Structure 1
């Protein structure tokens, strides 16, 4: 018999599992939904007396109460914050746990508090300041009904389910978020399953791309004991799709799920390292700090196109983005048009890094404009993927020397779990201030729904305000279409987009 021990996320307690638990029990499993001390009415306690270790003890006690006889296999399920006490308990009882399920949860590390996983970056900073002042004994009030989106996507929740989530919500003791998680490494051999809610912005393919970047810290995700599932819903699947969640949990317990491919497998180049689809002349790079310039022969100065890569890209990724075939291919294509192509590395390693990535891009632009081979009055910026949010700064009061802004399969509004709702990195809003700046947008017809929604919001805003927007569609294109789709599908769009950018730079 499989025994499921389920731990809910921040502000929520055992009652949110009601439907999923009933379905698992009906299928023959034993189910325990853990009431966490100080969260809700189940186990009342003064907030000052509750921290992460308190909740680890709550979960450990349930593990110890399960009869080990008759081959019972314990599967621990942690949703959101709940993965922290789950991992702490599994680390203390590794012989009793047969699998840990991360339900739309991060990957906590030893010594790091749950505060690091709080998606709202403004709130995270405020709580960190309170912790520095020693204010660790209070509690955090739960969100109002219209504030849950700050904690994760509410996609899939009916009005009744959102009402229920709000009614069940309880204050979260601050100590549970501020106390570091302490792990000994004893759970390293315990099999793991990640259940990703795609409405919250991340799917299995996105995780595979992160692994493909070559960061050694993510190599563990390719272990044969690690599996993945997706649910097409938002952050609270136990309320939006309890039957589908129960089915996934049963399959996870049986060891099913998708496994990731290790980076660098022979004969299987990751998408970002596949060849550029257009034939471009070889041209050496001129490396200056975090910037590479591809300068054609002949007299200058010349217009320049600065190519801004996407992300987040893990800090340990090798090669770094400015050496990826796609970016190098674009830069050499620019040079073939008689202009200076520019690639750069910026430090968008996490969704919390947009501020410093924006500073890196601004510094790169100034370096390029100061180069005597570049016409400082004729520069275009071209953004890719998650780098699209960085376009917001340049759409807001564009400088006179910025002659064009282009974007390929961009993210044009923060995704639900990025915690950037109140930030300035919102191109879908900034485009209303773009004035006469030409914008060339390459749109992937088979974009992921979450990113496609941000693109459509941008297009609508641009049309409503009369922005100078040119759409270049790749009808059968996927995200990263230059290297994931057949060249014949992408070449016409690439040539058309480049011709438009060149025209704006030379007009």
Structure 2
């Protein structure tokens, strides 16, 4: 049985995966959604990026999981990509859902115009503030879904965004699927495009926005299922 370990992006907890988890379990898979330290019900726990990597590794080991598909959305692609190389032969595949990918020595904020995020972290006591409804517009979400995200989101620990990733090899070496959400941006970023040249990587596109676990949970679950068992 495939065991999916699902990690949502910045400002979100395990609850963000509820609909996808239900679909995966109905298809006969194991599905384990994680909340990273400092978020949702784990608010108040100090956390940097390596804390989040360890959260994922610990969950896999403590649950005794094998044949693991690690799923990282948005920010969480960075700790998921690092955890993937640390769980050894427990790993079956990595799935990056419209996600950042780790690069050794680089942080989440590297490589894009992140001055506004850095300023927000400095102004908010070391945290990136939670979502507003305006942050979620034009992403294929209903008003109800936007409201759900805004109500559930929490501020994100800034240290996890500024600390560098630590890798011993390229993510290109691990079997991986990249899910590109076209409403967010129609093309993969340059670093993802380079990784997609690897024969171990494949690209899947979704005609929705950056939060497909809300906007198209059944379709996302189908893509995850196919990533594990093939079309």
Q: TM-score, normalised by structure 2?
A: 0.90
Q: How far apart in 1 are the matches of 2:100 and 2:205? A: 15
Alignment partner of 2:56 out of 59, 74, 85: 59
SS of the residue corresponding to residue 196 of structure 2 reads helix
> In the TM superposition, what whole-angstrom CA distance separates every residue of 1:441-497 from its partner, at most 9, and x where no partner exists?
xxxxxxxxxxxxxxxxxxxxxxxxxxxxxxxxxxxxxxxxxxxxxxxxxxxxxxxxx
Q: 1:107, CA displacement in angstroms?
A: 2.8
Contact 1:142 1:171 in 2 (8 A): yes
Alignment partner of 1:74 out of 68, 71, 84: 68
Q: How far apart in 1 are the matches of 2:226 and 2:60? A: 21
Contact 2:78 2:100 in 1 (8 A): no
Task: Give ranges in structure 1 of 5+ residues lacking alignment.
Answer: 212-216, 257-507
Contact 2:74 2:98 in 1 (8 A): yes
* Alignment coverage as a number of residue pairs: 231
Q: 1:228, CA displacement in angstroms?
A: 1.1
Contact 2:117 2:128 in 1 (8 A): no
Q: How far apart in 2 are the matches of 1:155 and 1:136? A: 26
SS of the residue corresponding to residue 248 of structure 1 reads helix
Aligned to 1:45: 44
SS of the residue corresponding to residue 85 of structure 1 reads helix
Q: How far apart in 2 are the matches of 1:87 and 1:224? A: 17
Q: How far apart in 2 are the matches of 1:245 and 1:236? A: 10
Q: 1:124, CA displacement in angstroms?
A: 3.7
Q: How far apart in 1 are the matches of 2:201 and 2:228? A: 12
Aligned to 2:119: 126
Aligned to 1:451: none
Task: Give ranges in structure 2 of 5+ residues lacking alignment.
Answer: none
Q: 1:88, CA displacement in angstroms?
A: 1.8
Q: How far apart in 2 are the matches of 1:201 and 1:186? A: 24
Aligned CA distance change for structure 1 residues 190 and 160 (closer, same or farther; 3 Å): same
Q: Which runs of structure 2 are paired with 1:166-315 in the superposition (5 Å)?
A: 166-185=150-169, 188-203=172-187, 219-255=194-230
Q: How far apart in 2 are the matches of 1:124 and 1:159? A: 25
Alignment partner of 1:95 out of 69, 89, 105: 89
SS of the residue corresponding to residue 59 of structure 1 reads helix
Q: How far apart in 1 are the matches of 2:143 and 2:110? A: 30
Q: How far apart in 1 are the matches of 2:193 and 2:133? A: 36
Aligned to 1:27: 27
Aligned CA distance change for structure 1 residues 122 and 44 (closer, same or farther; 3 Å): closer
Q: How far apart in 1 are the matches of 2:63 and 2:230? A: 21
Q: Which runs of structure 2 are paired with 1:353-432 in the superposition (5 Å)?
A: none
Contact 1:227 1:255 in 2 (8 A): no
> In the TM superposition, what whole-angstrom CA distance separates every residue of 1:194-251 from its partner, at most 9, and x where no partner exists?
0000111224xx67xx69xxxxx95542222211111100000000010000001111
Q: TM-score, normalised by structure 1?
A: 0.43
Aligned to 2:7: 7
Q: 1:193, CA displacement in angstroms?
A: 0.3
Q: 1:166, CA displacement in angstroms?
A: 0.4
Q: How far apart in 2 are the matches of 1:84 and 1:75? A: 15
Q: How far apart in 2 are the matches of 1:7 and 1:95? A: 20
Aligned CA distance change for structure 1 residues 138 and 244 (closer, same or farther; 3 Å): same
> In the TM superposition, what whole-angstrom CA distance separates every residue of 1:50-90 from its partner, at most 9, and x where no partner exists?
1111111110111112435xxx4100000000111101211
Aligned CA distance change for structure 1 residues 218 and 246 (closer, same or farther; 3 Å): closer
Aligned CA distance change for structure 1 residues 31 and 111 (closer, same or farther; 3 Å): same
SS of the residue corresponding to residue 100 of structure 1 reads strand
Q: Does 1:148 align with 2:136?
A: yes
Return the structure number with greater relative CO, CA threshold 8 A, min gap 6: 2
Contact 1:20 1:238 in 2 (8 A): yes
Q: How far apart in 1 are the matches of 2:64 and 2:127? A: 35
Contact 2:48 2:161 in 1 (8 A): yes
Higher-Rg structure is 1
Q: How far apart in 2 are the matches of 1:157 and 1:94? A: 37
SS of the residue corresponding to residue 185 of structure 1 reads coil
> In the TM superposition, what whole-angstrom CA distance separates every residue of 1:288-316 from its partner, at most 9, and x where no partner exists?
xxxxxxxxxxxxxxxxxxxxxxxxxxxxx
